[in-house]
A and B are shown apart, each in its own frame.
Chain A
Amino acid sequence: MITIKKLSHDFVIGKKGRQTIIPVLRDISFSVEKGEIVTIVGRSGSGKSTLLNLVSGFIHPKEGEIWISGEKVSDMNEAKFADFRIHNLGFIFQSFQLIPSMTAFQNVELPLILKGINEGDRRKQTEEMLKKVGLLDYQDHYPGELSGGQQQRVSIARALIINPPLILADEPTGSLDSETEEELLQFIKELNRDMGITFLIITHDDKVAEIGDRTIELRDGRIVEEVRLLCN
């Protein structure tokens, strides 16, 4: 599903002439198989988010290759990557990233609008998806009128609506209490089991790390350990 070859990245900060180069990722290579749940752990500042942002296409790598579903996404330009994302990738963010001026329904519907699907089909699919995450009764609520857990479910519905084979999540439970966290983890497992969706999840949390088939640990921008959790 995902293959990463010799990926390196660093940030350049400061004004011209007094630039500082901050190396973040060094020579990262790993792959994620179809149907796997892979978690990435590591101390704060180890480069986890940077790695996920590279895979998501939000930043462009300095060196190395990223392949997703057989496509070399690291060579794509912004527009191409955008089209790739809308058809292949689902996202779950720590802070949900819902559009505050749109209702739950409209937020979930948005990817379908961007894909150019017509209104009738959109309505049906969106309602189905809201039902699946148990928020059909809340479809006309704005994000500000929903609890954190509910907002995260809306954002999951938005990620799932395009039927992505791969979902990328950066600390998806970071803003949730332990009970809702447990619910979310169960839901992820269910999606993985029933629909074969591949997950790449970044976390601090051991409980989250435990649901992975595999855990990759980053330290100072390098992979230090790859643990296969056989218990799953």
Chain B
Amino acid sequence: MQLKDQFRFVRQNMKKNKTRVFMTILATAMGCAFLIVLASVGFGLQKSVVKEMTERRVITQIDVHGKEGDDGGSFRPINKKDIQIFEEVKDVKAVTRRKMLQQEGNFSIGNYQEPAQTFVANFPSEVKAGLELSEGRLPKGQDEVVVGYNFPLNLASKDAPDDRYDNKSQLKTEYRYSGKLIGEKLELTVRQLKDGKQEEKTIPLTVVGISKKPTKEWAEDRSVFISDTILTEIENFTGTPKGYLLDANSEVPTDQDIHENSFDEVKIYAKNMEAVQGISDQLKDLKYATYSVVNELKEVNMIFMIAKAGLIFIGTIAILIASIGIYNTMTMAVTERAPDIGIMKAIGANPKTIKRIFLLESSYIGLIGALIGTLVSYGISYAVNFAIPLIIKQAFGKETELNIIFSDIPLILPVICILICYGVTIISGYRPAQRATRVDVLKAMRREV
């Protein structure tokens, strides 16, 4: 029997009891829609979390926090020797290392001033890692500095009132320094408590470069990069490593680590995302404490994997319930058509053909149900993503836009659903189909079935 004719048979049979078939398809569609919508929440939240994680961080970046001591407990900061080791690891593009001034430097130019975090950076490695300037050049002289993109935007007039910020927490233009910055003198004031008295020291610097606008919209770069010589000058004044600020009852820290020429921010950049795992594994073997978003992503994805599997499992139960309907419908269909089946068998229909026709019919119901369910779930998913932020806005009156995707249906999800649905349909349609092949010809012809 040709497949085309089998399909025609199935369609004719289904037309005989349209309501029943429709209800069964409806139940299946509901089961599938339930599964997809439920699992789509898992997919959606995962997408949001991953997006958030990868947006806030450079994906090829590995932070190195320190090295585990031989005793296994304490960690010591990274020093020059460690940096050499890192630079020799395969697939490492750059190793940036920064020392941080241990107090907030106060920078001023004319009547304008701004407190900012102050670093000593290794510029060749920063450039390799992607540092670019929007204006000027990298520093050459020891009193030359590069400032972050947002530094000039926050350089405020000394007599600006408290409400100097606009509603986007940006410094209002009327209080902002408007002159040119490149080539201008900038004064850095550092403080230290000496014999119970606050003393200040002012160091003259020259701005030679401004870094490029950070790519992430939310990021703000207000740091100032000074040279090692200036840092030493500050240390000489404060009498503490990296300009550490003493308070009334603290001593000069004796901790050897700070005295050492150690780095406060060490970041390794891998050549590509795939290399991150290998590099962090190697560093782990060398007992360095590292953090990379790739590692974290792996864990997050693992958790979501389990969550999604759970959601799909719950959804499958809905399809299983719908499959009872399919089983019922197919059993009824076999019973109703038993006389016809008997006649067909009598004139020579192969039991296999009969079985195939009934399996085809249940698959038909299952697949149409799954397709309708898929379409509906795309609709629901769209509606959910549209409506929930609105509801939240209504309830909390928040103006901030929510960047959460509540429901996401990647192609794999309908595929999984259709496969599950198809499998369940075949299983539930199998027994009725098997029963159809066992219809007794003589009984059927005597209308005894």
Contact = CB atoms under 8 A, between A and B. Distances in A.
Contacts of A140: none
B347 A91 contact: yes
A59 interface: yes
Given A116-B2, A118-B2, A59 B442 contact: yes
B5 A83 contact: no
Interface stretch (B316-324, B350-358, B383-391, B425-433): B350-358
B349 A114 contact: yes
Contacts of B1: 113-116
A87 B442 contact: no
Nearest to A49: B442
A82 B353 CA distance: 11
How many of chain A's residues touch chain B, expressed as a range? 20 to 34
B358 to A, nearest CB: 15
Interface in A110-141: 110-111, 113-116, 118-119
B442 A85 contact: no
Interface string B338-371: 0010011111111111000000000000000000
B197 interface: no
Interface string B412-449: 00000000000000000000000000000110010000
A101 interface: yes
B343 A83 contact: no
Given A59-B442, A114-B1, A85 B351 contact: no
Given A53-B442, A101-B16, A58 B346 contact: yes
Contacts of A79: 350-352
Contacts of A115: 1
A82 B350 CA distance: 5
Nearest to B354: A82
A53 B345 CA distance: 13
A97 B343 contact: yes
A176 interface: no
Contact of B442 (A58, A82, A119, A158): A58
A114 B2 contact: no
A114 B352 contact: no
Contacts of B343: 97-99
A166 interface: no
A112 B361 CA distance: 21
Interface in B10-24: 12, 16
B350 A83 contact: yes
Contacts of A142: none
B352 A58 contact: no
A60 B163 CA distance: 102
Q: Taking each of B16, B345, B348, B350, which has the highest tally of chain A beta carbons within 10 Å of its own beta carbon?
A: B348
Contacts of B353: 114
B15 to A, nearest CB: 10
Interface of B: 1-2, 4-5, 12, 16, 340, 343-353, 441-442, 445
Given A86-B349, A118-B2, 5 more contacts: A59-B442, A78-B351, A79-B351, A82-B349, A114-B347
